[in-house]
């Protein structure tokens, strides 16, 4: 495909979850750098719209043209309500306002493939998606039937690299290697983030994202306490966020054993940007908010306990340290060393 004089309409389909959406962001910049006049739209679960809003085109800044929210999680709960079907048909109408030349689906799930099928397409549109599963990632083989270009990827493939492989194939481009550093958010946006006020905060703080959806991916409470005491002795306040009552209980237990540690009030994904931006350091397990700190280019220690480091490790910044690996949690000395390197 000759893209030099080509201004296509492109649809990105990456619905969820937090970390997956973040690791798909480089596609926007890869596409915009080579197709400056393209229309780039993105379908995403409504709960993750805030992750994309900083990229919306405005003024002289051109990135994403349209975000199309998808409410599947909420619709499934209210499947038999008339309002649900009205919302669905409104979504379908929005999805069909443009006739897309290229659709890039990097999730490999049936729900994402169905979105591709609903989109309006130009006569020779390319619908590209994954031809195979990658290790430790969800994949539904039936999704392939909704593509006209299925892209084979290595079974050991970083989330960013996997998305880039699908995109490069869809546009018949040479594969973008890691030497082309992935870009996530504009520097001026990151610099504009204001510190989120945290009650009781008196010193530079370290964010500790200890919770994750899968228990095996957690680092032990004893390790967090040891880390917290070490950093507290160096005049940092430890902040233990939470996202559910059970997580809040753990945060409270951890904070109670670390001098001056804080358990903040609940906050939204939108507020997380500012909370992370104001931190001296973020330390977290393999979870979306830890990856948010990494893609913002903030000092981040990513802890891997029961997931492979190669899958999501931050490789694009000298401000990131990746410790541990699949079924090989790091010890406290490793995490303390990585933390102090970034705080130096």
Residue 97 near residue 11, CB atoms below 8 Å: no
Average pLDDT, the chain: 95
Q: What is the pLDDT of residues 70-87, one digit of tens each?
A: 999 999 999 999 999 999
Which carries the bigger pLDDT value, residue 36 or residue 1? 36
Whether residues 168 and 197 share a domain: the answer is: no
Residue 22: pLDDT band by 50, 70, 90 thresholds? very high
Is 183 part of a structural domain of the chain? no
Is 1 part of a structural domain of the chain? no
Which pLDDT score, from 0 to 100, does residue 306 have? 95
Residue 61: pLDDT band by 50, 70, 90 thresholds? confident
Work out the percent of the chain whose per-residue pLDDT is above 90.
92
Whether residues 226 and 143 share a domain: the answer is: no
Is 2 part of a structural domain of the chain? no
Residue 5: pLDDT band by 50, 70, 90 thresholds? low
Q: How buried is 317 (Cβ within 10 angstroms: 0-12 exposed, 13-18 middle, 19+ buried)? A: middle
Q: How far apart are CA 126 and CA 81, in angstroms?
A: 35
**pTM to 2 decimals?**
0.95
Whether residues 97 and 125 share a domain: the answer is: yes
Whether residues 307 and 166 share a domain: the answer is: no
Q: Is the pLDDT confidence value at 327 over 60?
A: yes
Q: What residues contact 23, with CB distance under 8 A and at least 6 apart? A: 159, 160, 163, 291, 295, 312
Q: Number of structural domains, the chain?
A: 2
Whether residues 161 and 21 share a domain: the answer is: yes
Whether residues 134 and 269 share a domain: the answer is: no
Whether residues 197 and 94 share a domain: the answer is: no
Q: Which range among 236-240, 242-246, 280-284 shows the weakest confidence by mean pLDDT?
A: 242-246
Mean pLDDT, residues 323-329: 97
Which of the listed residues 177, 212, 239 is the one where a domain comes to its end? 177
End-to-end CA gap in the chain: 48
Q: Is the pLDDT confidence value at 197 over 90?
A: no
Residue 1: pLDDT band by 50, 70, 90 thresholds? very low
Whether residues 167 and 31 share a domain: the answer is: yes
Which carries the bigger pLDDT value, residue 10 or residue 4? 10
Whether residue 101 is preceded by a cis peptide bond, meaning omega within 30 degrees of 0, is no
Q: What is the pLDDT of residues 126-162, one digit of tens each?
A: 999 999 999 999 999 999 999 999 999 999 999 999 9
Q: Which domain holds residue 204?
A: 190-343
Q: What is the pLDDT of residues 255-308, one digit of tens each?
A: 999 999 999 999 999 999 999 999 999 999 999 999 999 999 999 999 999 999
Whether residues 158 and 214 share a domain: the answer is: no
- Reported as type and span, the H/E element at residue 87 is helix 82-95
Q: How far apart are CA 115 and CA 40, in angstroms?
A: 16
Whether residues 82 and 229 share a domain: the answer is: no
CATH number at residue 304: 3.40.50.2000
Is 311 part of a structural domain of the chain? yes
Whether residues 114 and 218 share a domain: the answer is: no
Q: Give the CB-side neighbour count of residue 300, counting CA atoms within 13 A.
A: 29
């Amino acid at each position: 495909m000759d893209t030099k004089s080509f201004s296509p309409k492109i649809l990105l389909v990456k619905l969820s979850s937090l970390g997956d959406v973040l690791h798909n962001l480089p596609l926007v910049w890869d596409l915009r750098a080579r197709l400056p006049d393209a229309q780039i739209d993105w379908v995403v679960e409504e709960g993750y719209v805030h992750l994309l809003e900083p990229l919306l085109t405005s003024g002289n800044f051109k990135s994403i043209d349209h975000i199309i929210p998808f409410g599947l999680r909420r619709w499934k709960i209210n499947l038999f309500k008339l309002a649900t079907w009205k919302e669905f048909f409104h979504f379908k109408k929005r999805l069909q306002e443009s006739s897309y030349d290229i659709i890039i689906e990097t999730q490999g799930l049936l729900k994402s493939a169905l979105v591709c099928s609903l989109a309006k397409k130009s006569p020779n549109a390319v619908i590209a998606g994954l031809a195979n599963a990658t290790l430790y990632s969800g994949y539904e083989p039936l999704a392939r039937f909704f593509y006209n270009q299925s892209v084979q990827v290595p079974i050991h493939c970083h989330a960013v690299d996997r998305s880039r492989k699908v995109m490069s194939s869809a546009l018949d481009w040479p594969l973008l290697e890691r030497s082309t550093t992935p870009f996530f958010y504009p520097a001026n946006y990151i610099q504009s983030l204001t510190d989120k006020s945290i009650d009781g905060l008196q010193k530079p703080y370290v964010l500790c994202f200890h919770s994750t959806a899968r228990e095996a991916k957690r680092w032990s409470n004893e390790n967090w306490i040891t880390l917290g005491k070490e950093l507290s002795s160096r005049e940092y306040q430890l902040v233990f966020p939470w996202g559910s009552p059970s997580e809040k209980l753990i945060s409270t237990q951890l904070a109670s054993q670390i001098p001056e540690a804080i358990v903040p009030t609940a906050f939204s994904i939108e507020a997380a940007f500012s909370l992370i931006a104001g931190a001296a350091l973020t330390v977290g397990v393999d979870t979306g908010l830890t990856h948010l700190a990494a893609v913002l280019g903030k000092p981040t220690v990513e802890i891997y306990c029961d997931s492979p480091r190669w899958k999501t490790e931050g490789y694009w910044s000298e401000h990131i340290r990746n410790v541990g690996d699949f079924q090989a949690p790091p010890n406290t000395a490793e995490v303390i060393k990585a933390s102090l390197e970034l705080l130096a």
